[in-house]
Amino acid sequence: MTTHSASALQAQENRFSKSFSFIIRILTLPPVMALCAISILHFSQGCFPGASYGFTLLCLSFLPLLPYPICFLIPSLQYRGRFIQRGMAVVFSVIGYVAGTAYCLLNGLYGIELAVLLSYLFSGSIIALLSFCFHFKCSGHASGMAGPITLLGMQVSPLFFFCFALLIPVFISSLQLKRHSKEELVAGALTPSLLLLVLIPLLA
């Protein structure tokens, strides 16, 4: 095999690897994981009753996803790249978490519902603080995966803890695409998990 052929093959393999990593990140987006976790709690245990189910999905799934189509549709934002997209995603997420927590408090949902929303609110606030003030990009992707897994493992069945294995491809894809360092990924995964270990026994 010539040097040119080997280089072309290596470039093709790199493109495939990056494409696969990108697909993994899309399939495991935090708003998608939130949708799955809230739906499982709602339909299996009756959590988030009535209108609170739809409003919670609005706050945890729709609002955090909104910056992506906004950045895609507005050329000036798209031109500024990943930095502005991530910043808007963090801001929109925190807005959703605040709205969801306020809804729980105003409607007397002080059990698992409040524990879930507070875990998102505190996690999002910590990620925003570390990102904007200390320039440490604590992984929201890892946080959005680990939180729902911990939640379902504690509240529905310990079998859900086996889903932590899904963090392996998430970590690999993030490192492959150079989105986060190992430290940022570990910090992101630990943040909601530790919060839920405190909040669920306290409130649920």
pLDDT in tens, 138-196: 998 999 999 999 999 999 999 999 999 999 999 998 898 888 899 999 999 999 999 99
Q: Confidence band (pLDDT; 50, 70, 90) for 9? A: very low
Residues whose CB is less than 8 angstroms from the CB of residue 132 and which lie 6 or more positions away in sequence, other chains included: 87, 90
| Nearest one of 138, 132, 156, 136 to 192, comparing CA atoms | 138
Distance of CA 9 to the CA centre of its chain: 34
With beta carbons less than 8 A apart as the criterion, state whether 91 and 118 touch.
no
| Nearest one of 151, 157, 104 to 123, comparing CA atoms | 151
Helix (H) or strand (E) holding 41, with range, is: helix 30-45
Span 36-54, mean pLDDT? 96
* pLDDT on residue 143: 95
Name the residue ranges covered by the structural domains of the chain.
30-203
Q: How far is the C-alpha of 36 from the C-alpha of 85, rounded, in Å?
A: 24
Rg, the chain, Cα only: 18
Span 4-11, mean pLDDT? 53
| Nearest one of 26, 47, 180 to 112, comparing CA atoms | 47
